Amino acid sequence: MTRNKMTQTASALLSNPVFSLEALGPHAAGELDLSARPDAVLARLADIARGTAAESRVGRMDPVVARALLRKGAGLEPVPGGRALREWIAANAGSWHGILKPSVRDIPTTILELGGAAAEIAAASAMQDRETAQTKYDALMAAEGARLGIGTWHEYRTVYSTDAYVSVFDPSVRRDHHLGIDLFCDAGTALVLPMDGEVVDARIIDARLDYGGVLVLEHEFAEGRKFWSLWGHLSHASARAWKPGDRIAAGTTFCDMGDFEENGWWLPHLHFQLSAEKYPDFGMMPGVGEGAFLSIWTDLFPDPTPLIFK
């Protein structure tokens, strides 16, 4: 198939208001350099989509997710190096247990089913009802005899029900599956870095239902291979303590969980998420995603649970 024919085929697919980037992948592979940076891939896709029904949607897409979907459709690894990172996580299971002091191995723990039995806690927190969220959480933890609550990776959560969570990739579904894990502890709980890292982002997103204090660190897990860790819902002091370029040694107590007023008005917890891709702006990185894209999330935002809880 000639390049012109490929472009025509891609344009034809994009002319349909309901289109799939995975379906587009095999046709666009010859026209798009899917090994290029995500922003470059999306810019070229936007050129192809100009004047089609898809133009406005393409303009609102996350370039990292878009490239992963196109690569998957083209039969490529969704995220270059994604498999290697998952294998490293499996080989180093439990090595991040010291993320808290004492270790998570020594803290009574329970799973919070925030899309099920504990959904009322999530709903009250999302409604910024501090008193109800805290009361229900305290009662559940007392009943379980636990001091650490876990919100799981890829959990379906009903609280993501507004139009803000409609998928730009597939408007028939919502971004309602959690892409990190949550560690629920008291506000002020100190966090320990289990692995050497370099700060690439330190900011305060002082808006309700956002991250509050947030840090993003870069880690090298093999020669020339890196991943990124996002630590969200921190105290403002935690975000102010560091700047991009700062190196933090393994074992350093480097941040703490924020209270309601500083963490986006959520029940105090850490949102912890890994990324196999470096975002140009980590403020764009989604914390929730479409359930249908599990194979993409597995590579792009792999489950960090095995690293912490072997």
As a 3-state breakdown, the chain gives helix, strand, coil percent values, each rounded to 5, of 35, 20, 40
175/143 Cα distance (integer angstroms): 31
In one-letter notation, the amino acid at residue 159 is V
Whole-model pTM: value is 0.93
pLDDT at 3: 44
Q: What is the pLDDT of residues 272-282, one digit of tens each?
A: 999 999 999 99
pLDDT at 48: 85
- β-strand 247-248 against 225-234: which pairing, if any? unpaired
In one-letter notation, the amino acid at residue 152 is T
Which of the two residues, 247 and 173, has the higher pLDDT score?
247
Domain with CATH 2.70.70.10 in the chain: 97-308
- β-strand 197-205 against 270-275: which pairing, if any? unpaired
Residue with tokens 């890829």: 154
Q: Closest by alpha carbon to 161, among 172, 176, 182? A: 176
The alpha carbons of the chain give a radius of gyration, in whole angstroms, of: 20
SS3 63: helix
Is 236 a residue whose pLDDT tops 60?
yes
Is 1 a residue whose pLDDT tops 50?
no
Measured over the CA atoms of residue 162, residue 168, residue 173 and residue 178, the dihedral's sign is negative
63/255 Cα distance (integer angstroms): 30
Q: Which CATH class is domain 97-308?
A: mainly beta
